Each structure stands twice: as structure tokens, then as C-alpha cells.
Amino acid sequence: MAERDPLEDPVHFVEERTAAAPLLRGALRYLFPDHWSFLLGEVALYAFIVLVATGIYLALFFDPSTAKTVYHGPYGPLDGQQMSAAYKSLLDISFTYKAGLLIRQTHHWAADVFLVSFVMHLMRVFFTGAYRKPRELTWIIGLLMLFTALPEGFLGYSLGDDLLSGMGIAIAYGVALSIPVIGGPLALAIWGAPFPGKPEFWSRMYIAHVFLLPILIGTLIAIHLALVALRHHTQFKESPRHTDRRLIGVPLFPGQTPRSLALMFAAFGVLFLLGGLVQINPIWQWGPYHPYLGTNGAQPDWYLGWLIGALRLMPGFDVTIGHITLVPNPFWGGALFPLFVLMVLAVFPWVERRFTKDYAFHNVADRPRDAPTRTAFGVAFLSWVFLIFAFGSADRLFVLYGLSYDIQLYAFRIGIWVVPAVLFVLTRRICRDLQAAERVEEIQHAAEEEVARERLEAHAGIT
């Protein structure tokens, strides 16, 4: 009699109750094209998992209430100070509950790293043309996720009602108000009353951050992954066998599984190491927020730095017609700018198609040099956004290195237009030169082979 494989029992159990064995069998041997840059989206996913896990823990201790209380806890410098219950519960998490500070910091690092890996993944997808047909929907879902993750992070670090994040909420209020026509009603609807708003505003922030937006992001992730799986992942043309029809890759099991798990544990490890070793958002040092207090050097988290740069770069004017304030100043940097970036990224697959007249399916990813105009545009657009982002730190650069803020202001006002233009031309040139160099090499190779073959034939002919 053949030996009974102990694994067959649970699999049989599942199959009898779900009829899923064909699905499982297909999934186990699902192929993953093998390149390190294809793992960046996974890194973002693992950061999201850490966010959810640590977030659940924090939600079990956090009090999302603006009720005023006086602090008498272990952190001496704040003893006797009035603060909101939300801020106090964050102090308790950081000082009173063991491992609370670790979980808090890991949660915050995970948010920062989530967006770092998100941006790296976006850049990889863009520069390899992986957003093209049939993956435009996946691209759009990704952009929706990005522009949901940004307010999600903002809400997260604003829930603590500390001085730094409180100033940020005031700015968000100013940006909301600045939206033409609907700004006033919109801000009043969100805050419930003029700033600082009703206590319900904190409930709204809280429920958006711990429930509404995570559910939205989670759903978008599921759709995104389903779309990727249905159409299969793109691959690079590593050999003539890699084509738009034939996919070559590593099966999920056993090849890809330990790799993905290793990446997951590595991501978890990095985040917890950061949470333990590098301090982030020490709210006890900032103190509680009041609308009449301000500190120099207040900044948003890095992924909103592009907005503070834009807000600071703008010359000072409200667009008015008579007594009507058509466009208050913060609208340009705080609302129009991010919307514009989102729009450019969203329509890009279709605009590119229009220009290149390329309506075919693409399962083979380009190398950046294979699409010089796209790569050049991407570099230029990225540099435009990056320079605006960089200006947001001009004041700290001035404090540290003495670089005049005024000079930086004017240099950047010009630079954000000149540098991308220069980089566009330069990048396109470089891509084309690289392509030309490869073609020359190919011709050289072919010629050498031809010579070698003829020599062989001649030799054979003689003997």
C-alpha cells in the first residue's frame, strides 16, 4: 500500500467544503516575473500591515476627545498644564504604558516609510511604462490610494492635538476656506463651526482615520492586487523568450513564497528597529496646541512637504473682483497644486497613447532608456515637484548654513521652471545616446560573428 501523505488530509478537508483545489493549484504555481524593482509595491503593502496592526493597538488606548483636562502624570515639564484628553492619552501611551511608545513610534515610522515605498513604486511603474494598456485601471487605483494615504497620514498625526500638528490643522482649515465659492461652507461643514471647530470635529478626524480611510485604502489594495493578478505582472525583456504573450517567472510556491515572506519580515524588522531606535514626533516636547500659540520651524510630515513649499513660494495676493475674493492665496499651493499633479499623473496613460499612437497591449516593461520622451518628462515633472518640496526646508537651511532665505526664495521661483526644462532636454539626450550606443554594440557584435563564421567556413573549405 502507498504511504498516506499527511498533507493530503487538510487539503482534502478544504476541497470537500470549498471545491477550491483547482484555484489553489493554480495559485500555487502562479508566476512572478523576477526583478528587484517589482518588489517595491510589496514593501508598501507590508508597511500598511504594520500600520493596521499597530494602529489597532493604539486605538485601544487613545482617547479622541477635546475635553479639557489638567495633566498630573509622569512627565514633569507638563505638570499642571491644561490640555485636551486626546493629547493626554498620547502622553499616557508614551510614558505610562509599557511598549506604548515603541508601538506609537513604529506606527508613525510605518506611515512615513509606507509613503516612501509608495513613491518609489510609483516611480518604477511610471519609468517602465507599466501603466499602459491593459493596466491603466491599476494605475488609477494606485493614484487614488496615494491621494487617500496623504490625508490619512495627516489625520493620524493630527489626532494628538500637539502644537506642531495643531498648526497644520489650522493650515488645512485655511486651505479648505480658500477653495473658490464653496470654501466657506465646506470648511464649516467639516469643522462644524469656525476653527477650532466643534468637539465633533475630533470625532470626525478619528473615525476617518481609524475606519473610513483604512477601509477605503484596504479595498483599493484588494482591487489593485486583483487587477495585477488577473492580468499578470509585467516583465522586462531579459531574453528573446520574454514577449508580450509569453510570461516567464518564478512560481508562487515554493520559489516566491519564502522571498516575499523574507521581505515582509525584513520590512517589519526595519520599522520596529526605527520605532525603538529613532525618535519620531516627540509630542511631549511640542506641548499642547492652542490657536493663539505658534512655534518657528513647524513642518508637516515629509509627504506633505511639497505643499508647504508651494504655500511659501507663492507671491502674496488674493485674486479679487471688487469685494468678492475669487481665489484666496492658499488655494494655489494647498489645493490646486496637488490636484494638478494628480491630474497629470492620472491622464498620462491616455495622453501618451495619443502622442505615440500606440494602442497595443504591453506586457513587457520598458527600460527607462527605451522611452526617452516619457523618461525625460517624468524626470522633469518629478524635479519640478521635488524642487517645490525642497523649498519647504529653506528656513532651516538658513538657520543651519546661513543661506539667505530671500536669495533661496528667488532662486527657487526661477529654478522650479528652469531646472525641469534643462533636465527634460538632458534626460532625453542621455536616453537616446544610450540607445544609440546599444545599437552600435549590436552591429559590432553581428559583424564580429559574421567575420568569425566566414573564417570558420574558409578554414573548413581549405581542409
Partner 1 sequence: MKRLLRWVVALGALLYGRMLRRRREKRERRRIVPAGTPERSAENLVLALLGVATLFAIGFIVAYAEYSPRSLPNELLGICLGMCFLFIAAALAVVAKRLVVTEELEDKYPKVHEEEQLQVAEIVHESGGRITRKRLLMGAGAAAGGALAAALGTPAASLGPVWHTAPLDQSPWRRGKRLVDEDDRPYSADTIEQGSFYTAFPEGADKDRLGAAVVVVRLDPNGLQLPAARATWAPEGIVAYSKICTHAGCAIALYRKPTFPTLEPHAALVCPCHYSTFDPARAGAVIYGPAGRPLPQLPLLIDDAGMMRAGGNFSGPVGPSWWAVRDHKAD
Partner 2 sequence: MSARTRLVAVAALVLFVGTGVALAQPQSGIVRPTFEPSAPSVQLGAELYAGNCATCHGIDGSGVSTPRRGAGGVLGAGPPLRRVGALAPDLYLRLGYMPLSSIHSEPESERVLLSDKEIRSLVAYVASLGAGPGIPHPAPSTGGISEGVHLFTEHCAGCHQVLARGGFVTGARVPPLQTVSPTQIAEAVRVGPYLMPRFSAGEISDSQLNSIIKYILSTRHPDNRGGWGIGNIGPIPEGLVAWWIAAPFLLFTCRVLAKRFRG
**Considering the rule CB under 8 A, would residue 129 count as an interface residue with partner 1?**
no
Distance from C-alpha of 161 to C-alpha of 82, rounded to nearest angstrom: 12
**Considering the rule CB under 8 A, would residue 405 count as an interface residue with partner 1?**
yes
**Considering the rule CB under 8 A, would residue 70 count as an interface residue with partner 2?**
no
Distance from C-alpha of 81 to C-alpha of 283, rounded to nearest angstrom: 14
The answer to whether the beta carbons of residues 69 and 82 sit under 8 Å apart is yes
458 binds, among partner 1, partner 2, none (CB under 5 to 8 A by kind): none
167 binds, among partner 1, partner 2, none (CB under 5 to 8 A by kind): partner 1
In the shown chain, the binding pattern of residues 131 to 170 toward partner 1, with x for contact by CB under 8 A and - for none, equals ------------------------------------x--x
Rounded (5°) CA angle 279-284-285: 75
241 binds, among partner 1, partner 2, none (CB under 5 to 8 A by kind): partner 1
Look at phi and psi of residue 430 and say left if phi exceeds 0, alpha if psi is from -120 to 50, else beta: alpha
146 binds, among partner 1, partner 2, none (CB under 5 to 8 A by kind): none
Q: Is residue 196 reached through a cis peptide bond, with omega within 30 degrees of 0 on the bond before it?
A: yes
Indicate if the alpha-carbon torsion angle 12, 13, 19, 20 is positive or negative.
Answer: negative
- The residue type at 382: L
Give the nearest distance from C-beta 217 to partner 2 in angstroms.
19
Distance from C-alpha of 415 to C-alpha of 267, rounded to nearest angstrom: 37
What is the footprint of partner 2 within residues 82-121 (CB under 8 A)?
94, 101, 105, 109, 112-113, 116-117, 120
Binding-residue total with partner 2 (CB under 8 A): 65
Distance from C-alpha of 373 to C-alpha of 368, rounded to nearest angstrom: 10
Give the nearest distance from C-beta 251 to partner 2 in angstroms.
13
Bridge-based pairing of strands 68-70 and 82-84 is: antiparallel
Give the nearest distance from C-beta 80 to partner 2 in angstroms.
6
**Among candidate residues 84, 43, 142, 124, the one with its CA nearest the CA of residue 346:** 142
CA 25 from centroid of its chain's CA atoms: 34
**Considering the rule CB under 8 A, would residue 445 count as an interface residue with partner 1?**
no
| Region from 77-85, 191-199, 424-432, 439-447 binding partner 2, contact rule CB under 8 A | 77-85
Give the nearest distance from C-beta 412 to partner 1 in angstroms.
13
Query: Which one among 30, 75, 236, 386 touches partner 2, defined by CB under 8 A?
Result: 75
Q: What are phi and psi of 69, to 5 degrees?
A: -145, 160
Bridge-based pairing of strands 364-365 and 319-321 is: unpaired
302 binds, among partner 2, partner 1, none (CB under 5 to 8 A by kind): partner 2
**Considering the rule CB under 8 A, would residue 355 count as an interface residue with partner 2?**
no
Residue 28, number of CB atoms within 10 A of its CB? 12
Query: Which one among 9, 12, 13, 29 touches partner 1, defined by CB under 8 A?
Result: 29
- The residue type at 298: A
245 binds, among partner 1, partner 2, none (CB under 5 to 8 A by kind): partner 1
Distance from C-alpha of 35 to C-alpha of 44, rounded to nearest angstrom: 16
Q: Which residue, 20 or 399, has its beta carbon nearer to partner 2?
A: 399
What is the footprint of partner 1 within residues 199-238 (CB under 8 A)?
230-232
**Considering the rule CB under 8 A, would residue 393 count as an interface residue with partner 2?**
yes
Query: Which one among 67, 77, 184, 347 touches partner 1, defined by CB under 8 A?
Result: 184
Query: Which one among 35, 232, 242, 369 touches partner 2, defined by CB under 8 A?
Result: 35
**Considering the rule CB under 8 A, would residue 404 count as an interface residue with partner 1?**
no
Rounded (5°) CA angle 204-93-89: 45
Query: Which one among 11, 190, 280, 314 touches partner 2, defined by CB under 8 A?
Result: 280
Give the start-end residues of each E strand in 150-238.
235-236
Residue 252, number of CB atoms within 10 A of its CB? 16
Q: What are phi and psi of 281, to 5 degrees?
A: 50, 60
Q: What is residue 288's three-state secondary structure?
A: strand
Query: Which one among 8, 9, 244, 441 touches partner 1, defined by CB under 8 A?
Result: 244
Query: Which one among 122, 164, 208, 376 touches partner 2, defined by CB under 8 A?
Result: 164
Give the nearest distance from C-beta 59 to partner 2 in angstroms.
20
The answer to whether the beta carbons of residues 298 and 164 sit under 8 Å apart is yes
Q: What is residue 147's three-state secondary structure?
A: helix
The answer to whether the beta carbons of residues 428 and 373 sit under 8 Å apart is yes
Give the nearest distance from C-beta 348 to partner 1 in angstroms.
23
| Region from 36-44, 182-190, 323-331, 355-363 binding partner 2, contact rule CB under 8 A | 36-44
The answer to whether the beta carbons of residues 334 and 135 sit under 8 Å apart is no
Give the nearest distance from C-beta 68 to partner 2 in angstroms.
15
Binding site for partner 2 (CB under 8 A): 34-40, 43, 75-81, 94, 101, 105, 109, 112-113, 116-117, 120, 163-164, 250, 259, 262-263, 266-267, 270-271, 274, 276-282, 284-287, 293-303, 305, 393, 395-396, 398-399, 402, 405
